Homo-oligomer: A and B are copies of this chain.
């Protein structure tokens, strides 16, 4: 069969759907993590394959937090349970441990016809939601959680967009505004653009390790009230792309702020296991909210998000996730349940994975030792690489790098000479995009320019994941240092 492209044979003019006639909100969407830089990286990888000579032999995609793609091995226990669920004949196989079989039987009992090929209820399999609720209670020192407040989702992204969909309405000055941090994870700006919401930017304080400052929140909010109706505040903690872990005090301040200002709080906590720095600890917004007493815990509308894609699992491909809704108006919750039902259900294999994540092997079970060792090794290795990255980058002339307290990324501030800024502007691109593109062409290393996440005017950054294996990460850091020296020299 020929591989001739079927598209493109028709004259442009006659199309129903063109750039001009399509949804203009979609046209305004930007998503830098998979933007032009990544497209070029894919092209270069193809060129290498076909034998084109380059000053490097492979493309290193440090643009995305994709642990397995970077060589991290799946956790054995998780995959054993998934294999058992997919092919229950294996339940008779002696090579699978009993605790894995127990988890698989439990998941299959929750499935229609004992098959993960059946649709689940739209909110997610009930026994899994119950396990999620127990997991949250343990994590939060006993703060109660009801499985009816849990919605299993297609990764966290799906749940975040669903909540934004519920929130966004109105026109003109009544249009919904949503507060997001700058720098931010571009899912947020992309979803807001698509929904035609007003994006309200608040800046994280780079000089204070990317912490949040309520004064800045207030400034952004009050300015926004002049032209839209702010309704929710989104926070990512641990931070993406910035790697900070917010302090308990800061979280309390934020909760007081949203209560006072009548905002719904969306807490993106997908990196909750990824905390590395001494003295840092993950505090869930839910726990802090409830410890602040009923005047807060009975009032503040909080939605928090989790995922199987990050932490020690790194199982991005399964698209597992959940959200917990707290203090949501019961009528709105009914609307939410209706809305998720239109898409039938989240992928059941992702739900099954989440079931294991929230119900891992316990002491005394056969897989406990291996599981615990594998998990600890992943997290220890990440902690080591976080430290390494910070140290190396702070030795690069012109770089200033906050500690990678958590998550999976570094977001160093870089110096771009005026000559390079001028050239970028003349070419109609952001200066840090020019920097990253030149890095890609010179070294094969793919990063995301800071402009894709937002940054203070006149500052430049990039996001790099710390996920490559230690030796490769060292190579990457060295190459960036070398490139940076040459770049500064070329544009001096």
Binding site for B on A (CB under 8 A): 1-10, 12, 14-19, 21-27, 29-31, 33-35, 42, 64, 66-74, 79-80, 82-84, 86-87, 90, 93, 95, 111-113, 115-122, 133-134, 137, 142, 144-149, 154-155, 157-158, 161, 165-169, 186-187, 190-191, 194, 231-232, 262-264, 294, 297-299, 301, 313-319, 325-333, 335, 338-339, 341-350
Set of chain B residues within 8 Å of A155, measured between Cβ atoms: 343-344
Chain B residue nearest to A329 in the complex (CB): B15
Task: Name A75's closest neighbour in chain B (CB-CB).
Answer: B117
Interface centre among A1, A119, A187, by most B CB within 10 Å? A119
A115 to B313, CA, bound (A): 12
In the complex, chain B residues whose CB is within 8 Å of the CB of A194 = 165, 339, 342
* A68/B112 in contact, CB under 8 A: yes
Residues of B close to A27: CB separation below 8 A: 335
Which chain B residues border A84 with CB–CB below 8 Å? 83
Instruction: Tell me, in angstroms, the Cα distance from A106 to B112 when the chains sit together.
Output: 30
* CB pair B16 A339 closer than 8 Å: no
Copies in the assembly, this chain: 2
| Contact indicator B113/A70 (Cβ below 8 Å) | yes
Expressed in whole angstroms, the minimum distance between the Cβ of A399 and any Cβ of chain B is: 28
With contacts A87-B80, A166-B26, A167-B22 known, is A117 near B7, CB below 8 A? no
- What are 11 residue pairs bridging A and B, where the CB atoms are less than 8 Å apart in the complex? A8-B330, A9-B294, A10-B299, A15-B301, A15-B328, A16-B232, A34-B344, A69-B118, A154-B319, A319-B347, A319-B348
Contact of A167 among B17, B80, B326, B347 (CB under 8 A): B17
Please report the C-alpha to C-alpha distance between residue A247 and residue B203 in the assembled complex, in whole angstroms: 60
